[in-house]
Amino acid sequence: MLVKTIKIGIVATLLIGRYAIALPPELEQSIKRYVAKSPMVAGLQTEIEFLDTAPNLQSCPEKIEISMQPGTRLWGRSNLELRCNKLAWTYNLAIKVRVLGDYVVANRYLQFGVKLAKGDLNVVRGDLAELPDDVLRNPKDAYDRLLTRSIQMGMKIGLNDLKEAAVISIGDPVRVLVYGQDFEVTGDGVAESAGMIGDTVRVKLYDGQAISGKVRSQGVVVVRTQ
């Protein structure tokens, strides 16, 4: 009987201790509101997981202040600082912030180099905190861009998986703008190489001269001379 009494007493003490140091419900709600108001998750649904299963939190006769260290990101695993000014204590609380939102995935197997269109993409909902920062949220951001790698059906698509399609193709008519220190002239020709904005392409002018310049926009190449 004595052994059983001791065991029951130990279990009861552990249970009482566990619930005595749990976060007060009002503090949990304050933390959830604090995270939801963060500019990092503005307009997105969030869920909070408290990673400290038994936080060693002291009592406080006033409202506990919630803050975070400079540079802390309320996204995925993070830490909040709880402060009681009256009793001059602070506590670092480990949390996990789930950020629920839409993101773009492949609607079918997509080969390297394909130009993306509406039927190639699908939008799903999930935890953005578990995904790379460059993941696309809007399928329109991918339209008419080229894939830099093959992507399996259902896989996420990120900004780094895309590149701009060529705005000048071989054989396209091209307007050439030539800028010098004290002059500016224009000419017309035909593209001998393809390129995206910022790329260098070769252009054969109608007078037979071949020059190279940087693509400024659709059908426009700029040449700068010193």
Q: What pTM does this model have?
A: 0.67
Q: Which residues contact 6 (CB under 8 A, 6 or more apart)?
A: none
* Structure confidence by residue, pLDDT tens digits, 165-196: 888 989 999 999 998 877 888 899 999 998 88
- Does the pLDDT of residue 1 top 60, yes or no? no
Instruction: Name which of 191, 151, 146, 143 is nearest 165 in CA terms.
Output: 146
**Which residues of the chain form beta strands (DSSP E)?**
45-50, 65-67, 76-84, 89-106, 121-127, 145-147, 162-164, 173-179, 184-191, 200-205, 210-217, 220-224
The Cα 53–Cα 57 span in angstroms is 12
pLDDT surpassing 70 at residue 2: no
**Residue 139 to residues 44, 113, 125, 135, Cα–Cα distance (Å):** 18, 17, 13, 10
Q: What is the pLDDT of residue 19?
A: 37
Q: Say what the pLDDT of residue 16 is.
A: 35
**pLDDT of 62 over the 90 cut:** yes
pLDDT > 90: what percent of the chain?
68
Rounded Cα distance, 142 and 225, in Å: 36
CATH class, domain 173-224, is: mainly beta
Q: If pLDDT is split at 50, 70 and 90, which confidence band does 12 have?
A: very low
- The mean pLDDT value for 104-126 works out to 96
| Chain-centroid distance, C-alpha 191 | 37
Fold equal for 104-164 and 173-224: no
Q: For residue range 22-59, list pLDDT tens digits in order.
A: 688 999 999 999 999 988 888 899 999 999 888 888 88
Nearest-angstrom CA–CA distance, 97 and 185: 57
Chain mean pLDDT for the chain: 87
pLDDT-based confidence at residue 14 (cuts at 50, 70, 90): very low
Q: DSSP letter for 27, please.
A: H
For the chain, which residues make up each domain, given as ranges?
Answer: 23-99, 104-164, 173-224
How many residues would you count in the chain?
226
Mean pLDDT of 117-125: 96
CATH of 104-164, one of 3.90.1210.10, 3.30.70.80, 3.40.50.880, 3.30.1330.90: 3.90.1210.10
Buried b (16+ CB within 10 A) or exposed e, 143-176: eebbbeeebeeeebbbeebbeeebbbeeebebeb
- pLDDT score of 10: 36
Report whether pLDDT(198) > 80. yes
Beta bridge partners of 84: 89
